[in-house]
């Protein structure tokens, strides 16, 4: 009986170990710059996003302009791991700009503030492999097996 419990425990560990370091490739904003073209302010947002393709891309960029969020969705689908998107905010001249990139599969990045500091951590995407859920399931399964074996 102890041998069976040890085998179940060993299998549980083997199932859990691969989930520790496997996470989705959530995009990240790496730079924000602004420039003027005539009376328009153009915000250049540089984004890093691993393995983009025609079915996995940045679908939206949210700009927080002094607390007012404006979403840009008419974006070119980049197939490179680093891409810069130029967004026209019209004649606005915000004091602070934060940007967030949204992947169609893995969700939103954290906000990044112009000047290089990270802002709020809303978003963050979805793990590619839900290790927390798997760990809970494995531990519950192990606990049930122990209870069943003790009753025999």
Q: What is the 3-state secondary structure (H, E, C) of 118-137?
A: ECCCCCCCCCCCCHHHHHHH
Is the domain of 84 the same as that of 110? yes
In a domain, 85, yes or no: yes
Is the domain of 107 the same as that of 89? yes
pLDDT of 28 strictly over 70: yes
Look at 2-16, 29-43, 92-106, 122-136 and tell me which has the smallest mean pLDDT: 122-136
Is the domain of 135 the same as that of 92? no
Q: Residue 122 — pLDDT band, cuts 50, 70, 90?
A: very low
The pair of three-digit structure tokens given for residue 22, joined into one six-digit string: 């496997």
Residues ≥6 apart with Cβ < 8 Å to 74: none
- d(C-alpha 32, C-alpha 46), whole Å: 6
Average pLDDT, the chain: 80
pLDDT for 49-89, tens place per residue? Answer: 988 888 889 999 999 999 999 999 989 998 899 999 999 99
- d(C-alpha 6, C-alpha 143), whole Å: 12
- Structural domain boundaries, residue 6: 2-21+131-151
Is the domain of 146 the same as that of 108? no
**To 5 degrees, how large is the angle CA 16–CA 20–CA 23?**
125
Is the domain of 17 the same as that of 86? no
Domain count, the chain: 2
| Residue 2: predicted pLDDT | 65
In a domain, 49, yes or no: yes
Pick from 7-16, 22-31, 112-121 the range whose average pLDDT is largest.
22-31
In a domain, 141, yes or no: yes
| Residue 53: predicted pLDDT | 86
> In this structure, are residues 110 and 98 in contact, taking their beta carbons and an 8 Å threshold?
no
């Amino acid at each position: 009986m102890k041998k069976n419990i040890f085998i179940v425990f060993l299998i549980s560990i083997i199932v859990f170990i691969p989930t520790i370091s496997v996470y989705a490739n959530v995009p990240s904003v790496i730079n924000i710059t602004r420039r003027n073209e005539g009376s328009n302010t153009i915000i250049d947002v540089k984004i890093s996003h691993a393995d983009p393709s025609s079915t996995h891309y940045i679908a939206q960029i949210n700009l927080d302009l002094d607390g007012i969020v404006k979403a840009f969705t008419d974006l070119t689908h980049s197939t490179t791991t680093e891409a810069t998107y130029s967004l026209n905010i019209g004649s606005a001249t915000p004091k602070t700009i934060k940007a967030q990139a949204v992947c169609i599969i893995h969700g939103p990045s954290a906000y990044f503030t112009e000047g290089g500091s990270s802002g709020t951590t809303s978003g963050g995407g979805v793990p590619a492999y839900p290790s927390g859920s798997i760990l809970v399931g494995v531990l519950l399964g192990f606990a049930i097996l122990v209870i069943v074996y003790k009753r025999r």
